[in-house]
């Protein structure tokens, strides 16, 4: 394994009891990724509860999770194949813990959607798939699990595959692979199944190895949201992470929202001399003029600069436990920008599982609903459409110190 | 961007974010490899001079190498060092032989409570990692603790797109975990790349080394001949033993770590 190959982060999602934790256990087991004492701990904990060894306990580590046999919160863990290393993000399948699922999925580069072939597409299958689409996760592997329960039937596989494909198409997800699997018995996970000779596609491990790491935004026009300003000796260092493009010494840049022009005088990294910083880098710059700068400003350059506006259209996913009434003020956070805003109009209120429109021009959003909304911010913010630049096209809404919704910008 | 660069940049972003939002912050430094790496990253984030204090929870049972290392680098790196010790509990005779749950809770968690109250800190940086323990695998980068220091693991805040829980009620404090996504081997590879000084307890002597360090009373060395960083990295690539296998407090009873952590332990 080459050390410069990046670990790939993927999330496993799907309806409760469709086999997420069993699949994870199987992946660990078949790739020999378990430490001896970890396995001992799981065996002992299973025995204490009078059960067979539960693979699920590898990630379900909270006492409540083990006793009740559910996953409450997302967890992350590691395994590797011959090709590369992986971070598995486990996500709970219960309706009550959708916000934990979103937390997990938002950190992934790819997703595995698991469906019990005997039960077909269920409420959380659809909701989770919609969340993947909303988060912009384009690499999706669909696993039809529990093939052993349907006698490894090709017809049953094809039937559920068609059902899943139809739904995924409606939310613009084109899955890369559909794989018939029995996670509990190990069919088509690491080893090709002897029970399904009719299937000539990839195993789960092979399909994971076929995924790509997320491409960096390095080739786009430069964007650096200002995170903080430090006074170090005589220097005023503007600290932040480059979210797109490359910032170089001597480059002419614009500061939003003021629109002031300046030039990058130097790139500042501790004990390191460099003339440029690229997308993904936490860095610092100084400017050639004493331009006014503060946290939340956006430094940019070149074509396709962010749009400065106080109103835009977005899709939001409401995950707080309380309803949201559209008269309430709420705080919007996009990159390092933070500003009070109002939802001017809830154009449509939708069920996040069926995607049915519940109401048009609604006054309220309820937990786990999706709203197509018009947002009005108190002052102008620098944003882009999610499809153009994710980092300036997504935001959260915060009320009473809590993140209540995630949103993506569809029109500016 | 390469793997270690990705980790480094993400951690620096988190370190800067917490300072920008809370200002009244402190960093816990156990002098172990993780918190020393964290300290190194913070020095990078703030150009060599930390704008906040570094806190050592001194149980009185630490290895002497830990004290020596602490004093040497606190001076060399110009750290504002707070040493916090629960002397009352020590005077009462609290010790690991009388019960590890009480000992860790008194000498670490309660010492920490005292120090947070004194410094009025709103957030604390900690070097914990997901791959150390199943309970830590459930953590957030920004994780709130209530006035009793309790971790409400059943109701954690959502955390997406690097938007963290940076607003807290007055009585709460936030635990900030910039190294959460690092693995043990990443830490060692980074130590090698950056040439970060490390306590020599980690290097094998007489066929044994410490893989995780804390109090002398509750740490057992593992069999190892790895006496250089290169050898440690090679060892980790093939090891089937988990990192904290030598840490007694994780093991005293089932769900010990969950109990300790829900009471405010690291």
CB contact under 8 A, A401 and B154: no
Give per-residue pLDDT as tens, B209-234: 888 888 777 888 888 899 999 999 99
Among A53-62, A191-200, A282-291, B243-252, the minimum mean pLDDT is found in B243-252
Give per-residue pLDDT as tens, B85-106: 888 888 888 888 877 888 888 8
The CATH class given to the A307-411 domain equals mainly beta
Give per-residue pLDDT as tens, A274-322: 999 999 999 999 999 998 899 999 999 988 899 999 999 999 999 998 9
Interface size A-B, in CB pairs within 8 Å, comes to 142
Give per-residue pLDDT as tens, A159-217: 999 999 999 999 889 999 999 999 988 999 999 999 999 999 999 999 999 998 887 78
Among A256-270, B11-25, B145-159, the minimum mean pLDDT is found in B145-159
- What is the reported pLDDT for A2? 43
B3-182+252-262: what fold? Answer: Rossmann fold (3.40.50)
- What is the reported pLDDT for B249? 61
Q: How many residues does chain B have?
A: 266
CB contact under 8 A, A103 and B169: no
- What is the reported pLDDT for A17? 85
**CB-based contact, B19 to chain A, within 8 Å:** yes
CB contact under 8 A, B158 and A406: yes
Among A178-182, B39-43, B239-243, B248-252, the minimum mean pLDDT is found in B248-252
d(CA A322, CA A49): 36
The minimum CA-CA distance between B213 and chain A, rounded to whole Å, is: 19
Give per-residue pLDDT as tens, A338-375: 999 999 999 999 888 888 899 999 999 999 898 999 99
> Which chain B residues have a beta carbon less than 8 Å from that of A102?
158, 160
Nearest Cβ partner for B20 among A61, A228, A271: A228
What integer best gives the mean pLDDT of chain B?
88
d(CA A55, CA A39): 9
d(CA B217, CA B95): 9
- What is the reported pLDDT for A387? 86
CB atoms within 10 A of CB A194: 8
Helix (H, G, I), strand (E, B) or coil at B160: strand
Q: Can you tell me which residue has the tokens 């934790």?
A: A21
Please determine, for residue B45, whether its predicted confidence score (pLDDT) is greater than 60.
yes
pLDDT (mean) for A83-92? 87
A8-209: what fold? Answer: Rossmann fold (3.40.50)
User: Residue ranges of the domains in chain A?
Assistant: 8-209, 217-300, 307-411
- What is the reported pLDDT for A1? 38
pTM of the model: 0.89
CB contact under 8 A, A396 and B160: yes
Among A41-45, A116-120, A232-236, B171-175, the minimum mean pLDDT is found in A41-45
**CB-based contact, B132 to chain A, within 8 Å:** no
pLDDT (mean) for A7-17? 90
> What's the helix, strand, coil split of chain B in %, to 5?
45, 15, 40
**CB-based contact, A1 to chain B, within 8 Å:** no
- What is the reported pLDDT for A376? 96
Among the ranges A29-38, B129-138, B248-257, which has the highest mean pLDDT value? B129-138
Q: In percent, how much of chain B has pLDDT > 90?
A: 50
- What is the reported pLDDT for A392? 96
The CATH number of the structural domain formed by A217-300 is: 2.40.30.10
Please determine, for residue A233, whether its predicted confidence score (pLDDT) is greater than 80.
yes
Same fold, A217-300 and A307-411: yes
* Rg of chain B (C-alpha set): 18
Range B92-111 burial, b when 16+ CB lie within 10 A, else e:
eebbbeeebeebbbbbbbbb
Give per-residue pLDDT as tens, B128-180: 998 888 788 888 999 998 888 888 888 888 999 999 988 777 778 999 999 99
Maximum CA pair distance of chain A?
74
CB contact under 8 A, A77 and B258: no
pLDDT (mean) for A264-281? 95
Quick one: which of A75, A42, A386 has its CA closest to B136? Answer: A75
Predicted confidence band of residue A58 (pLDDT cuts 50, 70, 90): confident
Residue B167 burial (C-beta neighbours within 10 Å; 0-12, 13-18, 19+): buried
Question: Would you state the structure tokens that stand for residue A264, as one six-digit string?
Answer: 């990058």
């Amino acid at each position: 394994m080459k050390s410069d190959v990046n670990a790939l982060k993927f999330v496993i999602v799907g309806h409760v009891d469709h086999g997420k934790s069993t699949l994870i256990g199987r992946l660990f087991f078949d790739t020999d990724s378990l430490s001896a004492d970890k396995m001992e701990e799981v065996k002992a904990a299973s025995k204490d509860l009078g059960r067979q060894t539960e693979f699920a306990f590898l990630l379900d580590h909270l006492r409540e999770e083990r006793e009740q046999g559910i996953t409450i919160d997302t967890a992350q863990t590691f395994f590797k194949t011959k090709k590369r290393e992986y971070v598995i993000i486990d996500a709970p399948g219960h309706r009550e813990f959708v916000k934990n699922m979103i937390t997990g999925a938002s950190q992934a580069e790819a997703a595995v959607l698991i469906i019990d072939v005997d039960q077909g597409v269920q409420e959380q299958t659809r909701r989770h798939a919609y969340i993947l689409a909303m988060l912009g996760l384009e690499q999706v592997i669909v696993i039809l699990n529990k093939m052993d329960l349907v006698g490894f039937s090709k017809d049953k596989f094809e039937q559920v595959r068609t059902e899943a494909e139809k739904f995924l198409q409606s939310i613009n997800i084109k899955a890369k692979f559909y794989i018939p699997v029995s996670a509990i018995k190990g069919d088509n996970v690491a080893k090709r199944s002897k029970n399904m000779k009719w299937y000539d596609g990839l195993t789960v491990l092979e399909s994971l190895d076929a995924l790509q790491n997320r491409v960096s935004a390095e080739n786009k026009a430069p964007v650096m949201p200002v995170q903080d300003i430090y006074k170090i000796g005589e220097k005023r260092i503007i600290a932040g992470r480059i979210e797109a493009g490359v910032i170089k010494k001597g480059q002419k840049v614009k500061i939003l929202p003021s629109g002031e022009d300046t030039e990058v005088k130097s790139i500042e990294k501790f004990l390191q001399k460099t003339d440029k910083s690229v997308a993904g880098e936490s860095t610092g710059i100084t400017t050639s003029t004493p331009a006014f700068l503060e946290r939340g400003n956006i430094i940019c350059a070149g074509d396709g600069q962010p749009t400065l506006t106080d109103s835009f259209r977005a899709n939001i996913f409401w995950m707080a436990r309380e309803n949201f009434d559209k008269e309430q003020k709420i705080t919007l956070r996009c990159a390092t920008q933070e500003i009070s805003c109002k939802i001017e109009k809830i154009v449509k209120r939708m069920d996040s599982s069926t995607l049915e429109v519940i109401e048009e021009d609604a006054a309220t959003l309820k937990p786990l609903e999706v709203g197509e909304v018009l947002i009005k911010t108190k002052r102008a913010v620098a944003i882009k459409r999610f499809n153009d630049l994710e980092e300036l096209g997504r935001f959260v809404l915060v009320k009473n110190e809590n993140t209540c919704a995630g949103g993506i910008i569809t029109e500016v | 961007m390469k793997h270690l660069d990705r980790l480094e940049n993400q951690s620096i972003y988190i370190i800067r974010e917490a300072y920008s939002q809370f200002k009244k912050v402190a960093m816990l430094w156990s002098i172990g490899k993780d918190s020393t790496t964290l300290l190194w990253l913070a020095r990078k984030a703030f150009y060599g001079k930390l704008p906040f204090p570094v806190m050592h929870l001194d149980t009185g049972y630490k290895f002497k190498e830990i004290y020596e290392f602490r004093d040497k680098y606190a001076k060399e790196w110009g750290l504002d060092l707070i040493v916090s010790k629960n002397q009352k509990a020590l005077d009462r005779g609290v010790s690991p032989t009388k019960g590890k749950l009480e000992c860790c809770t008194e000498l670490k968690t309660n010492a920490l409570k005292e120090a947070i109250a004194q410094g009025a800190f709103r957030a604390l940086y900690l070097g914990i990692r997901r791959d150390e323990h199943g309970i830590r695998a459930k953590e957030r980068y920004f994780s709130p603790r209530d006035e009793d220091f309790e971790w409400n693991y059943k109701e954690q805040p959502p955390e997406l797109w690097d938007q963290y829980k940076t607003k807290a009620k007055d009585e709460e404090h936030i635990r900030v975990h910039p190294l959460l996504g690092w693995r043990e081997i990443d830490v060692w590879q980074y130590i090698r790349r950056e040439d970060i000084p490390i306590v020599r307890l980690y290097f094998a002597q007489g066929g044994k080394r410490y893989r995780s360090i804390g109090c002398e009373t509750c740490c057992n060395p593992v069999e190892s001949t790895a006496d250089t960083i290169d050898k440690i990295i090679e060892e980790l690539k093939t090891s089937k033993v988990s990192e904290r296998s030598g840490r007694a407090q994780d093991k005293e009873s089932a769900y010990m770590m969950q109990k300790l952590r829900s009471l405010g332990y690291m």
